[in-house]
Amino acid sequence: MTDTLRRTPLHALHVELGGKLVDFAGWEMPVQYPLGI
């Protein structure tokens, strides 16, 4: 099994917007942004 997290098609946008990304069930998911949601 690999330790590589899967990414959504919007991953680059989440990174660009400064999202805090965490491991969620094998996916790298955003949970918080600098200005909130």
Q: Count CA atoms closer than 13 A to 24's CA, side-chain side.
A: 9
Residue 6 forms beta bridges with which residues? 27
Total domains present in the chain:
1
Task: Kindly report, residue by residue over 1-37, the tens digit of the pLDDT.
Answer: 568 999 999 999 999 999 999 999 999 999 999 986 6
pLDDT at 28: 98
Full residue range of the structural domain in which residue 8 is found = 1-37
Note the pLDDT of residue 3: 81
